[in-house]
Amino acid sequence: MTEPSTQQPHRSPPPLPDSGKDSGNDSHSRSAGRSPGAGSGGPGTVPLDSTAQLLTRVTAQLSTQLSLVSRNGTRRPMPRTRPPAPPLLPTAPPTLVVVAHGSRDPQALRTVLALLDRFRDLRPGLDVRLGHIELNRPLLPDTLDGLRGADAVLVPLLLGRGHHINHDLPAAAAAAPAVRTRIAAPLGPHPLLVEALYGRLVEAGWNPADLGSRRAAVVLAAAGSRDPDSAQDTRRTARMLAERLGAVPVVPAYASAATPSVPAALRALATRGRHRTFVASYFTAPGRFASAAAEAAPGTAALPLGAHPALARLLLHRYDQALSATAPAEMVSLLASA
């Protein structure tokens, strides 16, 4: 009798799930109607165009992971995004330091302070300081000492070139290395200065109807200096004032250190038949020289320039002009030709 066999009957293995690739005729039959090379994955998978695309993605992911691992095998921290830079705050403009000569006359300081107030009205918010060359406080070195680490423009309240412009101001700036300074040109010659002189003459009684009179003349009374540049600037201002007045001659004269003196200029005009003479006071503020020039006038003497609006505008112009000069050579040019 034959013993029954213990071997299990042969069964075919279950079909494998569709992996996106078929073989043989079966594959050919299912790919009918589809474009060549297009693959399809199972549910939840992303279609891949080719084996090369799969390899590219794997390589990119591997490179990203490896970039986070340091050479010693530890994981690098994730890169942090930098916070946005704070907005740049507007920088304050340089301080304007008005450099006055100084005077023993108490009216001089009051006049200069009134001029500074008028100037502040023209440029609100600008830091404006005062420094004197001599005789009054604050002195310029003290003013600069209070501006350590700051930018400043020194605007001389001086009417032309001379020793103060060429020597005193550069020396004061050099003695204050903690302050970044620029030196503006002197006030004159300039049309705004001529406008202030003309305004003071009109206030003193100058009548434009006198233009046709052969008797009218003006003496431009200035302080005077031994520096030839100073005399040149005063003569240029006299010519500009003569053009502003029309056909009336304007003769420069000086209170000290240069010729002619104010009395000598008045006498010379009188010998030429010019008896209706005015003295234009070419001084920024009252003082000894301005008083002497006024006393010498046989007729009418105008007041010093003082806090005239045109003078305040001229100070602002010299400040802006100095800021626009970017090189030392430009600053030298300003001082020589302004």
Domains of the chain from N-terminus onward: 95-187+311-337 (3.40.50.1400), 191-306 (3.40.50.1400)
Q: Say yes or no to pLDDT of 314 above 70.
A: yes
Confidence band, pLDDT 50/70/90 cuts, at residue 67: low
Give me the chain's average pLDDT, please.
82
- Cut 0.85: pTM above it: no
Confidence band, pLDDT 50/70/90 cuts, at residue 56: confident
Q: What is the 3-state secondary structure (H, E, C) of 45-68?
A: CCCCCCHHHHHHHHHHHHHHHHHC
Question: Tell me: the pLDDT tens digits for 250-288?
Answer: 999 999 989 999 999 999 999 999 988 999 999 999 999
Answer for the pair 324, 153: CB distance below 8 angstroms, yes or no: no
Confidence band, pLDDT 50/70/90 cuts, at residue 88: low
Answer for the pair 283, 290: CB distance below 8 angstroms, yes or no: yes
Taking residues 129-135, what's their average pLDDT?
Answer: 97
Q: Say yes or no to pLDDT of 45 above 70.
A: no
Answer for the pair 278, 219: CB distance below 8 angstroms, yes or no: yes
Residue 318: closest CA among 98, 91, 163: 98
